[in-house]
C-alpha cells in the first residue's frame, strides 16, 4: 500500500519569495538564481510541474559542476597557481615518460605517493603544484602544506588534544602535498606534524613531497627516530624522482630573462655593477 503524501502547507504571502527563502535554507544557490527566470517561462509555456522541477534541479546540478573546480582549488591552498600550461617539459630533467605517467594520476587512484627531490630551482614545486591543479580538474580533492604549516597545526591543536581530528579532516583529500622540505632545519612540532600526517595517510591517501634532500637524508633536518618512521611509511609505496641541473631561476636571471627590460630593451641594463647593452 502506497504511503500517502504529506500535505504541503499553503502560503500566506508571495510564493516566489518564500521559494527563494527556502533555497537559502536548503543551500540551493543555483536554483535561487534561476527561479525568477524559469517560473515566468514555465507559466507562459504551461510546463508540466514535473518539468519545472526537472529544470530547476538541472540548473542546480550544472551550477555545482561549474563551481566545484573553483571551490576545490580554493580549498587546496595552492601558493602560486602554476599549472602544466606554463611548464617547460622539454627543459626538465624529469624523463618525459615519467612526466606523462605522473600526469595520468593513476598513482593517486592506487593511493601511492610521490617524492621529488633535487637542487633548488629545478622545477620541483612547479611540477608538484601542476600535478595538484590537474587533480583538481579531474574532480579530486587536494590539500597543500609547507612542513611548517604542519608544525602550526600541531601547536594549534595541542591544547585540546584535537590533532587526530584535524588530521582526519585533512586525509579526506585524495592528494596531500607537502612542499619545500630540506631548505631549513625542521622544528620539533613540524617534524611531529609531518610524521603524524604520513602515518595517518599511509595506504589510505596519496602524499606528494618536494624536497631539496632525498628522503633518506631527512634525519639531517629532523630527529632521527621520527625521520626513520616517517620515511619508512612514505617510501613504501612511493615513486621517487630526482631532478638535476642548474636552477631555472638563476639561469633566467643571468641571461636577463627574469625581468622585463626597461625602455623596451633599448636602454642600458646594469649587471653586477657594470653597464652593458640592453
**Bridge partners for 143 per DSSP:** 176
Cβ neighbors of 10 (< 8 A, separation 6 or more) are: none
pLDDT by 10-residue block (mean), the chain, 278 residues = 52 80 89 87 88 88 76 88 90 94 96 94 92 92 93 90 90 93 88 95 96 93 94 96 78 68 56 46
- C-beta of residue 241 within 8 angstroms of C-beta of residue 131: no
Among 63, 61, 23, 62, which Cα is nearest to 39's?
23
pLDDT score of 260: 73
Q: Residue 114, exposed/middle/buried by CB under 10 A (0-12, 13-18, 19+)?
A: buried
pLDDT score of 265: 52
pLDDT score of 73: 87
pTM: 0.70
pLDDT score of 275: 42
**E strand spans, the chain:** 113-117, 142-146, 175-181, 206-211, 238-242, 268-271, 274-277
Phi, psi of 26 (to 5 degrees): -90, 0
Amino acid at each position: 500500500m502506497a504511503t500517502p503524501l504529506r500535505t504541503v502547507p499553503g502560503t500566506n504571502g508571495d510564493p516566489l519569495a518564500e521559494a527563494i527563502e527556502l533555497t537559502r535554507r536548503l543551500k540551493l544557490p543555483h536554483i535561487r538564481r534561476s527561479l525568477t527566470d524559469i517560473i515566468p517561462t514555465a507559466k507562459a509555456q504551461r510546463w508540466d510541474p514535473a518539468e519545472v522541477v526537472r529544470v530547476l534541479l538541472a540548473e542546480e546540478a550544472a551550477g555545482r559542476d561549474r563551481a566545484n573546480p573553483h571551490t576545490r582549488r580554493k580549498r587546496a591552498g595552492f601558493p602560486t597557481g602554476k599549472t602544466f600550461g606554463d611548464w617547460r617539459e622539454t627543459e626538465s630533467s624529469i624523463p618525459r615518460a615519467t612526466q606523462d605517467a605522473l600526469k595520468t594520476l593513476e598513482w593517486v587512484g592506487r593511493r601511492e605517493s610521490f617524492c621529488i627531490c633535487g637542487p633548488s630551482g629545478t622545477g620541483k614545486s612547479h611540477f608538484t603544484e601542476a600535478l595538484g591543479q590537474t587533480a583538481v580538474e579531474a574532480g579530486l580533492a587536494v590539500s597543500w602544506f609547507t612542513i611548517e604549516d604542519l608544525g602550526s597545526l600541531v601547536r594549534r591543536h595541542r591544547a585540546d588534544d584535537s590533532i587526530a581530528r584535524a588530521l582526519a579532516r585533512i586525509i579526506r583529500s585524495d592528494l596531500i602535498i607537502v612542499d619545500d622540505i630540506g631548505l631549513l632545519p625542521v622544528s620539533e612540532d613540524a617534524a611531529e606534524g609531518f610524521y603524524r600526517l604520513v602515518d595517518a595517510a599511509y595506504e589510505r591517501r596519496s602524499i606528494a613531497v618536494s624536497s631539496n634532500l632525498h628522503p633518506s637524508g631527512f634525519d639531517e633536518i629532523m630527529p632521527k627516530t621520527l625521520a626513520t618512521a616517517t620515511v619508512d611509511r612514505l617510501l613504501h609505496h612511493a615513486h621517487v624522482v630526482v631532478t638535476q641541473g642548474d636552477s631555472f631561476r638563476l639561469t633566467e636571471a643571468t641571461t636577463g630573462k627574469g625581468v622585463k627590460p626597461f625602455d623596451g630593451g633599448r636602454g642600458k641594463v646594469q649587471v653586477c655593477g657594470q653597464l652593458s647593452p640592453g
